Amino acid sequence: MASLIKWNPFRDLQRLNWNFDQFFRDFMAPEEMEEGEEYRVSPPVESYRHNGSFVMKVELPGVNPQDVHLTVDQGRLTIEGERKRGEEVRENTLFQDEICYGAFRRTLDIPEGLKSDEIKAKYHDGILEITAPVEEQYLPRKIEVEVQKG
């Protein structure tokens, strides 16, 4: 049985943006690049609230967790790191080059009521999962509807 996946046009645009960057980098101005110049990639993020906590998942397949750094400053969370190409792959032996390598950075606003001093992060199966509890006053609450007769 085939499963359906919700189409996300922004993910396609992000990939298209990277393809244009790759095109210009490789064909339009390779001589203008400085030695060691890096291109930033913005990893996709999913965030939601679950059981009184804020959860954020960041796709980082192929990234060594020791190369990932998180900082919290003035209500913003910054995720930085680098995906490194294996030494067994040389530029002149590539047949296809669609995986983004290099430094990445993503800065996101922290939702109001998040206990930023209790943020925890773990990495598993190529996903960085960041969690933090939300203050109770900022959690959704159910409001009963009063029914009047007459």
**Rounded to the nearest 5°, which phi and psi values hold at 17?**
-60, -45
Least confident of 8-12, 45-49, 76-80: 8-12
Q: What mean pLDDT is predicted for residues 87-111? A: 80
Higher-pLDDT residue of 21 and 146 is: 146
pLDDT at residue 71 in the model: 95
Contacts (Cβ under 8 Å, ≥6 apart) of 49: 55, 134, 139, 140
The partner residues of 120 in beta bridges, in order of sequence, read 131
What is the side-by-side strand order in the sheet with 76-83? 68-73, 76-83, 102-109
Beta pairing class for 120-124 and 102-109:
unpaired
pLDDT at residue 32 in the model: 41
Residue 115 has pLDDT above 60, yes or no: yes
Ordered structural domains, the chain, with CATH: 41-86+105-138 (2.60.40.790)
Spatial separation of the C-alpha atoms in residues 42 and 11, rounded to whole Å: 11
Predicted TM-score (pTM) of the model is 0.65
Question: How is 72-129 classified by DSSP, letter by letter?
Answer: EETTEEEEEEEEPPPTT--GGG-S---S--EEEEEEEEPPTTB-GGG-EEEEETTEEE
Distance (Å) of CA 139 to CA 24, 112, 129: 46, 10, 20
Tens digits of residue pLDDT in 23-63: 544 444 333 434 444 445 688 999 999 998 999 999 999 89
The structure tokens 């210009």 sit at: 24
Spatial separation of the C-alpha atoms in residues 21 and 17, rounded to whole Å: 6
Residue 124 has pLDDT above 90, yes or no: yes
Spatial separation of the C-alpha atoms in residues 127 and 44, rounded to whole Å: 10
How does the average pLDDT of the chain come out, rounded?
79
Structure confidence at residue 94 as a pLDDT band (50, 70, 90): confident
